[in-house]
Chains A and B, each alone.
Chain A
Amino acid sequence: MIRQRAFFLIFILGTLAWLGWRNRSGPLVDTGLLSLLPSNEKDPSLAETHTLLTQRGGRLMAFAVTRGETAMNESAGQRLRQELQVSSWVKLYLTHASSDRGPSWHRLFFPHRYQLLSEKDRDSLARSKGVERLLGRMESALFQPSSSFFSSLITEDPLLFFPEYLRSAFTSLEGFSKTDKEDDEKTPFFLALEWNFDPFDSLCQERFYQWWSKVQKKITQEFPQVQLHTTGLLSFARAQRIQTEKDLFLASLGSFLGVLALLAWGFRSFRSIGFVFLPAGVGLLMGLAATWAVFGSVHVVTLTFGTTLIGCAVDYPIHFLSHRLLTPQTSATDTFRHLAPGLRMGLGTSVLGYLVLGLADFPGLRQIALFSSVGLVAAFVTVWVWFPRQTPGKAPAPPAGVLKCVEGSLRAISSLWHLINKNRRLLFWGAGILSVIGLGRCRFDDDLRRFQNPPASVQQEDAEVRRCGPFGGHRFILIRGKTQEETLQTQETLYQKLLRMKNLGDISSFQCLAPFLPSEARQNDNLQRVQDSLLPAAPLVRKKIQALGLSTSVADRLFNDLKSPPASLSPEQWLESPASEPFRSLWLGKVAGGFAGVALVGGLRDRSTLEEALKPIAGVHSFDQTEEYNRTLSRYRKAALGLLGVSVVLATLLLMAQYGARGATLALTPSLVGVLLTFSGFGWAGEPLHLFHVLAAVLVFAMGVDYAIFFLEASRVSELLKPALLSVSLSATTTLVSFGFLGLCRTPVVHTLGQTIFWGLLISYLLSPLPWILQRDRAVQ
């Protein structure tokens, strides 16, 4: 045994060292929901683009200046922009041109003016008298009040292809900005940008908010009439983090003190209390190591759920120590030998339940299964290897209060059962009908937004900013191709589709790169059209130019440029230019399996219309981040629910092998009733169920079965009854205290886990003496 302990200790230390070494190679906690997708359905290229979009979406932030006159909002906004410039946190401004933007547009696009035609000019050139129409436009421009603008252009672009291209490109984007429609005197200032830091980094969050409160103060002192607002994932993430930290701190403190008080009351020994937490610690360590070793990282969902394993793992030492306390005459080794069948059976049913969960092809569920199974086995092995040797000799006499309490509880259970037995039919049918109705009222809602509960102030800020400008609420369309050219051509097909949808009113706005980054094929076609139309009509063009009083050099330049045009505009040139800044985030560039871009659609009337329109375009995929998450959560929930059923069946078979059909039924009833009544309660309360309710049910089932098994064991060996009652009561009460505090938290996921486990386990615990009572009654009869 000494050798076993030494080996186990070396193994634990080795694991610790390995974890430390692995942790140095980078963060091993995965937070992306996409990594939870089933591997066989995951399209690597799609997954990468989804990840890119998610990351970019997360780094966006928007600011608004409101309440002042238009000019004042603008001035305060420019002041804010200066402060942002100094901060050096901004990767990209998505709105508001930099001072260099205008000339940069000219520098980038003007040389390619014959390759970047508007739809209108393409049509004109394709029609008869197209050249005459273009000449008429030139003449009309000179007589316009805006002729001064054209006079600077007309020598280089007499047929005005360039201003027409710009007008057309920007007109396609109309409606995308809500502020297009505003014309009042208090137009707010709106600014959207992309940070160059991770919005989930708590240090960055705090630095930003310190800066923001200073800037707000400074600007409102300078412009007292204005109000400044901001929103973005950073605001929500920070609010959620602060709330979760606060909740978990209070819950941990409360549950720690409660558990400590209970254990102190039960064991009256610091050493014993230390022993209680040792197997749980080893279990967590081993679970973490196993998951890292197999999956390469641990998902945050696994970690959250895995930590609740402590509730399960502390049960083993509590059982051992309770039995030692109430059977002091028995040696530690014998105590463990008496306990082992029950502990093994409890471990077996729990591990079986978790392993079945891992059968699904969902990496998340597999992680939870591995983490929990390894953690529980490690906790059990810790008790098995260490406890009998660490607590040798005779145990101290049990405290009188504990004995008194145990005996009182036994009497209370007997009286209660006597009462229940007298009205068992009424109670059975009453509770049964109410439960069935409650279960019938249960509904599922996998909406991701249910996991968020941001403070009202953050929501108000968000609403205020969204009122001022286009931020969020749009649908992504992914455009993918094997080559850059293929992606750009697909983008052009999509553009035509979206333009038609906008004209039909199926969408209110869209943003697509096609006019700003045309494919090479399109550019060549445009140039060909211009050359085919103008070169043969050179005499007519020259005549008109001369008639208007323009120099002949204007016509010479036009035809020279047409005969020797520059190479097509490439994505690389476009990306390098400051002109691409407002749209750069729409080009994802090289991704796994090719290249990708994004289009954004706003004001979609009917999702199916868009899906239908996109169907014939290969390489285009509509993507709604929230819907995608909701679908994933729904699939997880369904899989977890189905596998919970399978694990119940397998646990029944395992228990039947040990205790027979009746014993198995008695062992399973308390936990199953616990789960069903809890879900029924949620049905009556009208609270929709989601993935975390189901995961909590798995835990209730695993722990509830353990409680019943100990009473079932006690019905076989009468000396085990009092220790069983003490150990089950202590472990249940400590677990209830912990999860009860979690249930009081406002953080939705923590609240759900806490609430479900609390009610489920409370019912399981109250019913857990049932196997002992029924077996006793049967023996009496």
Chain B
Amino acid sequence: MLMKRVTPSLSVSSFFKNLWWLGVLTWAFPVWGKPSADTVDRETILQDLREVRFVEASFTETKTLHLLSSPLVSRGQIIFSPLQGIYRKTQDPLLVEMILNRREWIQRDADGEVTRLALRHLPAARVFVEILLSLFNGDDRHWKKHFDTRWTGQRGAWTIEFVAKKESPVAQGIKKIILEGGGPRLIQVTLLEKNGDQTVTHYSTTRLWGKNDTGPLPVFPDLSLTP
């Protein structure tokens, strides 16, 4: 009879303040689009995003953290699937793999040590996974709750700025997220934090799978196994 459920140690507001989930947003923003549109049509882009089945890309990430005297640069690969979540493998300067899905966050380090945490214990992370996945389902309702968006440029070279709404708990940590794309590909994500930290993730060699594509698809590894 005497029951209780565990709640996370971090409240939603403090979680947003601490921002760890923001990196997640910066890796996985490829866009599936149709070329040669003269103006940015939000609905068309959202419609295009719905077509995405899988994304595979290389990334180079430069973090400028206020507490470090010099920027940190890392490189690796990511796979994104609106159904399965995100797999990110940092290869340089050290090996770390990570999977984030609707249910949990799993990390395996270079020693093969696996850390798992249920997203139930990280409600804000869960909210953001929902947002990310819903974006790729062409549904922007989750974004609208937390961000004002500015869509500029052309469909062939566009920029979307997500400016955190003042009343949103997101604003306690994030100032702005800038997505830059060209055609169907996302080229760069810039994350500006309230404390001045900045993370720029550049994507290259992006490969996209649409709903009509056949052939072998990227596979999410089982991180609980020793590599």
**A499 on interface, CB distance cutoff 8 Å:** no
Max count, chain A CB within 10 A of own CB: residue among B19, B67, B173: B67
Do residues B197 and A192 form an inter-chain contact, with CB atoms below 8 A? no
A8: CB under 8 A from chain B? no
Which residue of chain A lies nearest to B63 when distances are taken between CB atoms in the complex? A147
B162 to chain A, nearest CB (A): 16
**Are B22's CB and A148's CB within 8 A?**
yes
Does A352 make an interface contact (CB < 8 A)? Answer: no
Question: For the complex, what is the distance from the CA of A148 to the CA of B194, rounded to whole Å?
Answer: 11
Decide: A133 near B3, CB < 8 A? Known: A143-B72, A148-B197, A170-B121. Answer: no
Q: How far is the CB of B82 from chain A (nearest CB, A)?
A: 14
- A551 interface hit (Cβ, 8 Å): yes
Per the bound structure, the CA–CA distance linking A148 and B3 in Å amounts to 35
Picked from B3, B17, B18, B193, the residue with its CB within 8 Å of the CB of A472 is: B3
Chain B residues within an 8 Å CB radius of A147: 20, 23, 63, 65, 72
Count chain A CB atoms within 10 A of each CB in B3, B65, B68, B96 and give the residue with the most. Answer: B3
Nearest residue (CB) in B for A99 is: B11
Whether B20 lies near A102 (C-beta < 8 A) is no
Q: Answer whether residue B217 sits at the interface, using C-beta atoms and an 8 A cutoff.
A: no
Return the CB mask of A172-210 against B: 1 if under 8 Å, else 0.
011011011001000000101000000000000000000
Bound-state CA distance A102–B15 (Å) is 9
Query: Does B3 contact A155, Cβ atoms closer than 8 Å?
Result: no
Q: Does B144 contact A (CB under 8 A)?
A: no
Is A583 an interface residue, CB under 8 A from the partner? yes
B14 at the interface (CB under 8 A from A): yes
Contact A136 B4 (CB under 8 A): no
Q: How far is the CA of A609 from the CA of B23 in the complex (A)?
A: 46
With an 8 A cutoff between CB atoms, is A150 at the interface? Answer: yes
Chain A 223-266 interface residues, beta-carbon cutoff 8 Å to B: 233
Q: B69 at the A/B interface (Cβ < 8 Å)?
A: yes
Q: Are B2 and A148 in contact (CB under 8 A)?
A: no
Q: Are B8 and A170 in contact (CB under 8 A)?
A: yes
Does A406 make an interface contact (CB < 8 A)? no
Within 8 A of A (CB), among B57-75: 63, 65-70, 72, 74
Give the Cβ gap from A148 to chain B, nearest Cβ, in Å.
Answer: 4
A507–B70 Cα distance when bound, in Å, is: 49
B3 near A102: Cβ-Cβ < 8 Å: no
Instruction: Tell me, in angstroms, the Cα distance from A139 to B10 when the chains sit together.
Output: 23
| Contact (Cβ within 8 A) A192 B5 | yes
Interface residues of A in 429-483 (CB under 8 A from B): 469-472, 474, 476
Contact (Cβ within 8 A) A148 B20: yes
User: Which of B6, B27, B68 makes the CB contact (< 8 A) with A549?
Assistant: B68
Are B2 and A57 interface neighbours, CB within 8 A?
yes
B103 at interface by CB-CB < 8 Å:
yes
Determine whether the beta carbon of B6 is less than 8 Å from that of A173. Answer: yes
B42 at the interface (CB under 8 A from A): no
User: What residues of chain B lie closer than 8 Å to A180, measured between beta carbons?
Assistant: 118, 120
Instruction: Identify the stretch in B107-115, B147-155, B178-186 within 8 Å (CB) of chain A at 4 or more residues.
Output: B107-115
One of B31-39, B45-53, B87-95 at the interface: B87-95
- The number of residues on chain B lying at the interface, defined by a beta carbon within 8 Å of a beta carbon of chain A, is 55
> B116 at interface (Cβ–Cβ under 8 A)?
yes
B120 contact set on A, CB distance < 8 A: 177, 179-180
The docked-state distance in angstroms from the alpha carbon of A343 to that of B96 is: 93
Does A40 sit at the interface, judged by CB under 8 A? no
Report chain A residues within 8 Å CB of B118: 174, 180
| Chain A, Cβ-Cβ closest to B2 | A57
For B121-142 the 0/1 string (1 means CB < 8 A from A) is: 1000000000000000000000
B109 x A136 contact (CB < 8 A): yes
Q: Are A154 and B13 in contact (CB under 8 A)?
A: no
Task: Let me know if A151 and B67 touch, CB within 8 A.
Answer: yes
Is the CB–CB distance between A103 and B14 below 8 Å? yes
A177 to B6, CA, bound (A): 7
Q: Verify if A548 is at the interface (C-beta below 8 Å from B).
A: yes
Cα distance, A140 to B117, chains bound together (Å): 17
Contact with B along A581-592 (1 / 0, CB 8 A): 011011000000
Known contacts A143-B96, A145-B23, A147-B20; is-contact A176 B13 (Cβ 8 Å): no
Contact check: which of B4, B67, B72, B116 meets A585 at CB < 8 Å?
B4
A472 pairs with B1, CB closer than 8 A: yes
Provided the pairs A133-B111, A152-B18 are in contact, do residues A145 and B24 lie with their beta carbons within 8 angstroms? yes
Instruction: Give chain B nearest CB distance to A134 CB in angstroms.
Output: 12
Residue of A nearest to B107 (CB): A144
- A146 pairs with B21, CB closer than 8 A: yes
Task: Report the minimum CB–CB distance from B165 to chain A (whole Å).
Answer: 17
The residues of A that contact B121 with a CB separation of less than 8 Å are 170
Residue numbers in B under 8 Å from A152 (CB-CB): 17-18
Q: List the B side residues contacting A154 at CB < 8 Å.
A: 67
A574 within 8 A of B: no
Q: A190 contacts B5, CB within 8 Å?
A: yes
Is there an interface contact between B7 and A97, defined as CB atoms closer than 8 Å? yes
Residue of A nearest to B7 (CB): A97
Residues of chain B lying within 8 A (CB to CB) of residue A549: 68-70, 72
Chain A residue contacts of B1, Cβ below 8 A: 57-58, 60, 233, 471-472, 474, 625
- A145, A179, A190: the one contacting B26 at CB < 8 Å is A145
CB distance from B197 to the nearest CB of A (A): 6
Decide: A582 and B7 in contact? CB cutoff 8 A: yes
- Using CB atoms, name the residue of chain B closest to A148: B19
The reply to whether A155 and B67 contact each other, CB–CB distance below 8 Å, is: yes
Taking CB atoms and an 8 Å cut-off, the chain B residues in 74-106 that contact chain A are 74, 88, 90, 93-94, 96, 98, 102-103
- Contact of B65 with A151 in the complex, beta carbons under 8 Å: yes
Bound-state CA distance A574–B121 (Å) is 21
Is B212 interfacial (CB-CB < 8 Å)? no
Q: How far is the CB of A598 from chain B (nearest CB, A)?
A: 7
Contact A171 B117 (CB under 8 A): yes
Query: Is A105's CB within 8 Å of the partner chain B?
Result: yes
Give the Cβ gap from A104 to chain B, nearest Cβ, in Å: 9
| Docked-complex contact A143 and B74, CB < 8 angstroms | yes
B7 contacts A101, C-beta separation under 8 Å: yes
* Cross-chain contact of A170 among B6, B69, B110 (Cβ < 8 A): B6
Query: A372 near B: Cβ within 8 Å?
Result: no
Q: Is B9 an interface residue (CB 8 A)?
A: yes
Chain A residues lying within 8 Å of B115, measured Cβ to Cβ, are: 167
Decide: B98 and A469 in contact? CB cutoff 8 A.
no
In this complex, the member of B6, B70, B90 whose beta carbon has the largest number of chain A beta carbons within 10 angstroms is B6
**Chain A residue contacts of B66, Cβ below 8 A:** 151
What are the residues of chain B within 8 A of A192 when measuring CB–CB?
A: 3-5
CB-CB under 8 A from A582, the residues of chain B are: 4-7
In the complex, whether A600 has a CB less than 8 A from a CB of chain B is: yes
How near does chain A come to B14, taking the closest CB pair, in angstroms?
A: 4
Question: B22 — nearest CB in chain A belongs to which residue?
Answer: A148
A476 to B69, CA, bound (A): 53
Q: Give the residue name and chain of the B residue nearest to A165 (CB).
A: B9
Smallest CB gap from A193: residue in B: B4
Q: Given contacts A145-B26, A180-B120, is CB(A53)–CB(B67) below 8 Å?
A: no
Q: Is the CB of A145 within 8 A of B22?
A: yes
Residues of chain A having any CB pair with chain B under 8 Å: 53, 56-58, 60, 62, 94-97, 99-103, 105-106, 133, 136-137, 139-140, 142-152, 154-155, 166-167, 170-171, 173-174, 176-177, 179-180, 183, 190, 192, 233, 469-472, 474, 476, 511, 548-551, 582-583, 585-586, 598, 600, 625
Show the binding face of B for A, using Cβ within 8 Å. Answer: 1-11, 13-15, 17-24, 26-27, 63, 65-70, 72, 74, 88, 90, 93-94, 96, 98, 102-103, 107, 109-111, 115-118, 120-121, 173, 193, 197, 199
What would 10 more interface pairs be, CB under 8 Å, given A136-B94, A170-B8?
A58-B1, A101-B9, A102-B10, A103-B11, A145-B27, A155-B67, A170-B9, A170-B117, A174-B118, A549-B68
- A/B interface sample: 19 pairs, CB < 8 A: A94-B5, A100-B11, A101-B7, A101-B9, A102-B8, A102-B11, A142-B65, A143-B93, A145-B20, A145-B22, A147-B20, A147-B63, A148-B197, A150-B20, A152-B17, A152-B18, A171-B116, A176-B5, A190-B5
